[in-house]
Structure 1
Amino acid sequence: MKLARTGALAVAAGLAFGAEDARAYDMDCAIMLCMAGGFPSSAVCSAAYAEMIRRITPWPSRPPFGVCTYAAVPVALGGPGGSAALDISTPEYSWLRRTRVLWWRGRSYEPRDEPRQWDWSVRSCDHENQNCHYIVRVYGSHTPWPASFTSENGQNLPTPGSGGLWFFYSRAVMMEYGDYGGAMDYTDWVNY
């Protein structure tokens, strides 16, 4: 009920702004609301999911969601009023701050007069697609990269490929996110 009421407020607020502002407002809030529910099956959440993936897919790569300005919805429309953007630094939005953008890079190659080798790495960035660091980085392994790895949020995530028998190179990006209840999930890898 609360999620439906919030969605209705988002639509009502969108009508109060100009058409261009409303589209940006609606999509950023839709991404956050649908993510909070684990992206349930609906036309709105399907569009929000597709937009989130489009934003993180290079180039240029952007944060998966922007600023939801629900805080600016007038009191007359059921919002809190004010002019500020939604502050996600508060404890009730900790689930949203667990969002990570994961960048994969892997290659398989055969150096001259040596056995086949594999290199792979996973770089993790915060919900703004900034403050990145490597969580896995392996060079010159004589075994293919594993089928999965453990993320910072403790999820066992699949790697996007097996490493191939011949020269093989892959790059991909995915999102790891949590819902309002704390359950973690992830998107498919998107190769680029």
Structure 2
Amino acid sequence: MRLFFKGAMLAASLSFLPARPASAYDMDCAIMLCMAGGFPPGAVCTAAYAEMIRRITPWPSQPPFGICSFAAMPVAAGGPGGAMDLDISGPEYDWLRRSRVLWFDGQSHETREEPRQWNWNIRSCDHENSTCHDLARVHGSHAPWPASFQSENDQTLDYPGGGISFFRRAVMVEYGDYKGTMGHSQWIHY
């Protein structure tokens, strides 16, 4: 009984100390976890989506997500202790490595001697936003860019809209969830 009262007194005295915030996953972990679920509605995933878009929006552009650092299992529980980085090289993270950053650049011009011509380019970069290549590069077309194109992940994606414009640049993220279902962000004009 005496021990119960001592415990109650200790708990009561600790309750007057200022509360410390609980540590949470870092933003990269939140982006990956929310992406795995297809960015479900909620405060955490809304913030993670906004951060992913902020990172890819120029300049300087960053990868949509980085290294997820998380608290490792404590040594007492048989783990390594401390903090470690999430290794996404295994086959269970194929869905994450399929993420692509897509860049669009399009212009239209007209000279006195020739009819209006259209130029456009779609670049696709890996999930680290480092290894890039052209999906489409068209110069001197007498027709505007088409309504949609095929991505490397076999999605039919619309070209960026926004009304009649003779110059347009935009960026988007194409991502998959843990089941392999592909999704994408909206085009972000810059």
Structure-1-length-normalised TM-score: 0.81
Instruction: Check the 8 A contact 1:109/1:117 in 2, yes or no.
Output: yes
Are positions 1:191 and 2:189 aligned together?
A: yes
Give the corresponding residue for 1:3.
Answer: none
Give the corresponding residue for 2:133.
Answer: 133
5 Å-filtered alignment, 1:139-154, equals 139-154=139-154
Closer/same/farther in 2, CA of residues 107 and 78 from structure 1, 3 Å limit: farther
- How many residue pairs match? The answer is 169
Give the corresponding residue for 1:90.
Answer: 90
Instruction: Check the 8 A contact 1:103/1:171 in 2, yes or no.
Output: yes
Closer/same/farther in 2, CA of residues 142 and 76 from structure 1, 3 Å limit: same
Give the corresponding residue for 2:49.
Answer: 49
Closer/same/farther in 2, CA of residues 131 and 112 from structure 1, 3 Å limit: same
Are positions 1:31 and 2:23 aligned together?
A: no
CA distance in 1 between partners of 2:58 and 2:38 (Å): 24
Give the corresponding residue for 1:75.
Answer: 74
CA distance in 2 between partners of 1:78 and 1:46 (Å): 34
Helix, strand or coil at the partner of 1:50? helix
Instruction: Check the 8 A contact 1:145/1:162 in 2, yes or no.
Output: no
CA distance in 2 between partners of 1:47 and 1:77 (Å): 34
Give the corresponding residue for 1:117.
Answer: 117
Instruction: Check the 8 A contact 2:26/2:69 in 1, yes or no.
Output: no
Closer/same/farther in 2, CA of residues 31 and 79 from structure 1, 3 Å limit: farther
Higher helix share: 1
Structure-2-length-normalised TM-score: 0.82
Instruction: Check the 8 A contact 1:147/1:159 in 2, yes or no.
Output: yes
Question: Which of 163, 178, 181 is matched with 1:180 structurally?
Answer: 178
CA distance in 2 between partners of 1:80 and 1:62 (Å): 32
Give the residue type in structure 1 aligned to 2:97.
Answer: R
Helix, strand or coil at the partner of 1:51? helix
Closer/same/farther in 2, CA of residues 133 and 77 from structure 1, 3 Å limit: farther
CA distance in 2 between partners of 1:110 and 1:77 (Å): 72
Larger radius of gyration: 2
Unmatched runs of 5 consecutive residues or more in structure 2: 1-20
Shift of 1:108: 1.1
